[in-house]
Amino acid sequence: MNQRHASVRVQILFLFATLCVALLAVPLMPAAPACAQDESYPRLGIYGSTDSVGQPFVDISSGGLIPEVLQKYAAYDLAILNASPLTDARRDIVPALRAINPVLKIFAYVVGHVAWCNPSYPAGITYYRDYWRRVSLAGGGSGDYAACDWSSGNGFLWTQSGAPATSNVNLAKRIQNPDSTYSYPVAEAIADLIYEQVYSSPVGWNGIFFDVMCEDISWQETSGMRYDYARAGYGANNADPVNRTAFFQGWTAGQHALGARLRSRIPNASFPIVGNCALGTQYSTYNGWMSENFPYQNGGTWETNIFGMPAGGYLNYEQNFRAPRYNFLFSAAVGANIPYSTTNTRKARLGLGSAALATGFGVFGDSAAYAWDVPYYNWWYDEYAVDLETGRASRQRRHTGWLGRATSTYYQMVSPPSDPNRLINSTLDSDTSGWTFRAWSPAAGSMLREEGAAPQGSANIRLEITQAGTSGWHAALSNSALLNVSSGVVYSATLWAKASSPRTIGIVLGGSPDFGSALLTMDTTWRRYQVVITPSRSGQATLRLEFGNIGTGSFQLDDIQFAQGVNSVYRRDFQNGIVLVNPDVSAKTVVLEHPYTKILGTADSTVNDGSTNNAITVAGADALFLIEPSAIHDRTPPAAPGELAAAATSKK
């Protein structure tokens, strides 16, 4: 959940809760077992919601399932769908989806810390009722759902003005144990409920997806809204900052306890649990995280949402969450009534292409997730499925996963810069003049110039970090050039690099304070990298590469440059094609090793025009999916856009 969209999401959840429910007796089908993560790309996810009747899957006039809607959802690789009513009142929906696509992964959507009370719920809707009751009872309340008794106990959160809080479940509720540690009864009660009613459901979910699962909620406070810390169990004086600090620390501990409790109860160590809200950091508990409003979550950029600054980031998630990993990049449409506008087709490509740089899922849909009101499950973009017999965009599920297996990790294609390099002695071919390596205690290390191993020219720098520090600057390589930089202008640092083991270093525009920074993740192979730095102020800076807080090891560096602008795109190679991603706002042209073919598109036939070329231009903030020409056997023009085939078949 994007912090800035928290209130919208909560309002949606409350609306779900107020819809009436039509209960039908439905036969249960055997749950499909979870299967290994598919190796084919691109990976398509749908963040689908249902109301309490079961719409959009259910015809409210007849109560029956709508085959056309089931077909649309079943075309994806993974669907995130509401735990209720799919685990209680409408247990027929998940089996019906699996009957169409047996390998479809279906994750149960649950909410971390929002409850509501609606006594008019029919008896079949048990999950939301039981959620409220368990929170109330765990907080010492009456559990009186019929009267919606919010006030007894402190299982629910209130504001200091006496109003219910937006995040209204008190995960910070704690009890001190005899050994002076704390237990968190509300958080643990929620975890137990999810284990009993969702994980253990005969529906057979393939994973659990937590929305509104915020590790910190201090950002929700404003000058006019403060949580009632005292009522939540933290001191007696809300004006005392000590109580405020203790409450938010308790909240974080309770949020951690919820995930840890659920993980401990699930016997299958490979069962996926995924979270959503701002940045994810609980790598040992969760299998992944969703980045919403991609690429701008938390007011960031593509670089911060992909690499993380200093925490979070899609590629960081891919490296650190427990296996099997399920990470999601969710982009929202601009104008739900124009899903195939130039902006929306571009956003869909950028999200899906960025996800394809690693193992995660691209998700594109309506920001409010009212699938019964805005049927975004009908949206289908050229890149989702391609018939490799013709190179045409397809509406059939059997043509998804068309790129095949990945044959490389992501890498950058760096073109010659248009702006001159501003550093001193970038080539290092003669000596190391202009470069200084310093290590401050407790870090220790050395720099030498080595010949014969450089990827470009005759020599490179080799750093040996023999003792780690606690901050990046404790071991740093600096260039003596004074760089005049301007606030808000985009600059880039480009270099060849490799390390003795995969590491992430900091690249900093140094000053007092620093002007800006970026992260660079390198592996054990010589590669050319480019990172983007946008200074937060104007002035004179120096370039600094930081190695002090990433452990011991060796690092080799060559041809380090700094210039204004960006002249690279990201690339990943697959069996049947490649993906190019350009996060910069300006178009980039790259020359490929041989000609590739664009998709013969229908959703965006301007970009996906079926042409074949080796000089490819990728528009700003966009991506391109290109086909290996040898995979295409026919060049018949594409048909007009149509609906998904009613009789979809299994993915090749």
Residues 6+ apart with CB under 8 A from 104: 73, 74, 76, 77, 78, 79, 97, 98
For 580, counting Cβ atoms within 10 Å of its Cβ (0-12 exposed, 13-18 middle, 19+ buried), the class is buried
Model pLDDT for residues 394-437, shown as the tens digit of each residue: 999 999 999 999 999 999 999 988 899 999 999 999 999 999 99
509 with 541: CB under 8 angstroms?
yes
Closest CA to 168 of 160, 152, 176, 156: 156
* pTM of the complete model: 0.88
Structure tokens at 632: 């295409």
Q: Is the peptide bond before 164 cis (omega within 30 degrees of 0)?
A: no
Has residue 77 got a pLDDT over 60? yes
How much of the chain, in percent, has pLDDT values that exceed 90?
Answer: 85
Residues 6+ apart with CB under 8 A from 471: 548, 549
Model pLDDT for residues 181-224, shown as the tens digit of each residue: 999 999 999 999 999 999 999 999 999 999 999 999 999 999 99
Max intra-chain CA distance, the chain: 82
Average pLDDT over residues 521-528: 95
Q: Which is it for the CA torsion 585, 591, 594, 600, positive or negative?
A: positive
Other Cβ atoms closer than 10 A to 427: 16
Distance of alpha carbon 246 from the chain centroid = 30
- DSSP-H helix ranges across 217-298: 241-265
Query: DSSP states of 365-377 as a string?
Result: E-TT--TTTS-GG
- 76 membership: H or E segment, kind and range: none
Q: Which residues on neighbouring strands pair with residue 496, listed in sequence order?
A: 528, 558
Structure tokens at 197: 């009613």
Q: How confident is the model at residue 636 (pLDDT cuts 50, 70, 90)?
A: low
Q: Which residues on neighbouring strands pair with residue 362, listed in sequence order?
A: 44, 329
Residues 6+ apart with CB under 8 A from 159: 165, 225, 226, 227, 228
Instruction: State the Cα–Cα distance between residues 555 and 547, nearest whole angstrom.
Output: 9
Has residue 5 got a pLDDT over 70? no
555 with 448: CB under 8 angstroms?
no
Place of tokens 């999810």: 194
Report the chain's mean pLDDT, rounded to a whole number. 91
Q: What is the DSSP letter of 428?
A: -
Has residue 166 got a pLDDT over 60? yes
Burial letters 177-207, b for 16+ CB under 10 A, else e: eeeeebebbbbbbbbebbbebbbebebbbbb
Average pLDDT over residues 317-331: 97
Instruction: State the Cα–Cα distance between residues 347 and 340, nearest whole angstrom.
Output: 10
Least confidently predicted of 118-127, 441-450, 583-592, 624-633: 118-127
Dihedrals phi, psi of 400, to nearest 5 degrees: -75, 165
Instruction: State the Cα–Cα distance between residues 238 and 226, nearest whole angstrom.
Output: 9
Distance of alpha carbon 458 from the chain centroid = 41
Q: How confident is the model at residue 29 (pLDDT cuts 50, 70, 90)?
A: very low
- 544 membership: H or E segment, kind and range: strand 539-546
254 with 192: CB under 8 angstroms?
no
Written in H, E and C, the secondary structure of 143-201 is: CCCCCCCCCCCCCEEEECCCCEEEEEECCCCCEECCCCCEECHHHHHHHHHHHHHHHCC
155 with 141: CB under 8 angstroms?
yes
313 with 350: CB under 8 angstroms?
no
Closest CA to 20 of 129, 121, 131: 121
Residues 6+ apart with CB under 8 A from 178: none
For 146, counting Cβ atoms within 10 Å of its Cβ (0-12 exposed, 13-18 middle, 19+ buried), the class is exposed
- Radius of gyration (Cα) for the chain, nearest Å? 27
Least confidently predicted of 35-44, 172-181, 269-278, 571-580: 35-44
Residues 6+ apart with CB under 8 A from 190: 112, 113, 131, 134, 135, 169, 258
Average pLDDT over residues 484-503: 97
Model pLDDT for residues 359-389, shown as the tens digit of each residue: 999 999 999 878 989 999 999 999 999 999 9
Has residue 309 got a pLDDT over 70? no
Q: Which residues on neighbouring strands pair with residue 207, listed in sequence order?
A: 107
Average pLDDT over residues 218-245: 97
Model pLDDT for residues 425-460, shown as the tens digit of each residue: 999 999 999 999 999 999 999 999 999 999 999 999
Has residue 122 got a pLDDT over 80? no
Structure tokens at 226: 């403060």
204 with 33: CB under 8 angstroms?
yes
Has residue 35 got a pLDDT over 50? no
Domains and CATH numbers, the chain: 3-379 (3.20.20), 381-408+567-652 (2.60.40.1180), 417-564 (2.60.120.260)
Instruction: State the Cα–Cα distance between residues 131 and 142, nearest whole angstrom.
Output: 14
Instruction: State the Cα–Cα distance between residues 522 and 499, nearest whole angstrom.
Output: 7
Burial letters 372-383, b for 16+ CB under 10 A, else e: bebebbebbbbb
CA distances from 252 to 139, 327, 502, 589, 629 (A): 17, 22, 30, 46, 52
Q: Which residues on neighbouring strands pair with residue 568, listed in sequence order?
A: 414
Predicted local confidence at residue 637, as pLDDT? 54
For 404, counting Cβ atoms within 10 Å of its Cβ (0-12 exposed, 13-18 middle, 19+ buried), the class is middle
Q: Which is it for the CA torsion 383, 387, 392, 394, positive or negative?
A: negative
Has residue 353 got a pLDDT over 90? yes
353 with 581: CB under 8 angstroms?
yes
Of 337 and 11, more confident: 337
